[in-house]
Structure formats: structure tokens, C-alpha cells
Amino acid sequence: MAYDEFLADRVKTSLKDNKAAFEEKKMFGGVCFLVDDKMCVGVINNNVMIRIDPENQEDFLKEKGCRIMDFTKRPMKGFLYVSPEGVDMEEDMNKWVTRCLEFNPKTKSSKKKK
């Protein structure tokens, strides 16, 4: 299994609870959830991948289970991993998903290939 499907289901539930229209797409060996055609949140292995405002990154890194996303072996600004202990409770999962949704309108959509 390339990613934790139960964790992905929890992310989907949180997105639905937030009444977010989303598209599910397999990427990075995991699954990403796109909101308004923009990467918003995802699951890679057993981590939740979150896309947040880079201005809040240092503050968020102080929270339980949170670390820099280094998928490419280089830190990615505005992207963090949250380990299972950081989203153990539903309120924690909802907090992270809400943060992603709040930042989503400020992000740019990647250009579509023709």
C-alpha cells in the first residue's frame, strides 16, 4: 500500500464536513485532494501532506507531529507533513484541513497541459 487509505478516508470526511468540493488525484505515490483545481491536502505513506500559508509555517512546525515536507529531499516552502500522532483526534484532523482550505483561495493553480 503506497499510502494509508484509512487516513485518506479521514481527510475526505473532514473535507466533506467542511463542505469543500474536491477532486481526488493519485500523485507523489499517494493521494492528493484538489480544491478549485489546486493541491490542498493529501496523504503520502502514513503522513498527511498539508499546504499552508508559508508565513505560518514556523508557527505550525511547533505543533505535535508536524515537520517540513522534504519529498524531493529539499524543503518545500508552504508544504508540511503531519504524522499520525498529529492528527490522531478528529479535531486535530479538522484543524489541519481547515487551515489548508483557508489558504487554498490564495494559491495559484498549476497550468494545465494541452
Q: What is the pLDDT of residue 1?
A: 52
pLDDT of residue 108: 81
Global pTM reads 0.89
Q: How far is it, in rounded angstroms, from Cα 65 to Cα 95?
A: 13
pLDDT, tens digit, 9 for 90 and up, residues 34-91:
999 999 999 999 999 999 999 999 999 999 999 999 867 788 889 999 999 999 999 9
d(CA 60, CA 99): 10
Contact 32, 39 (CB under 8 A): yes
E-strand ranges in the chain read: 23-27, 30-35, 38-44, 47-51, 66-68, 79-82
Domain boundaries of the chain, sorted by first residue: 5-104
* Residue 28 pLDDT class (50, 70, 90 cuts): confident
Quote the pLDDT of residue 111: 57
The reported pLDDT for the residue numbered 77 is 86
Domain 5-104 bears CATH identifier 3.30.365.10 = no
Q: How big is the chain by its Cα radius of gyration, in Å?
A: 13
Cβ–Cβ < 8 Å for 35, 102? no
Calpha distance 90→95 (Å, rounded):
8
pLDDT at position 29? 85
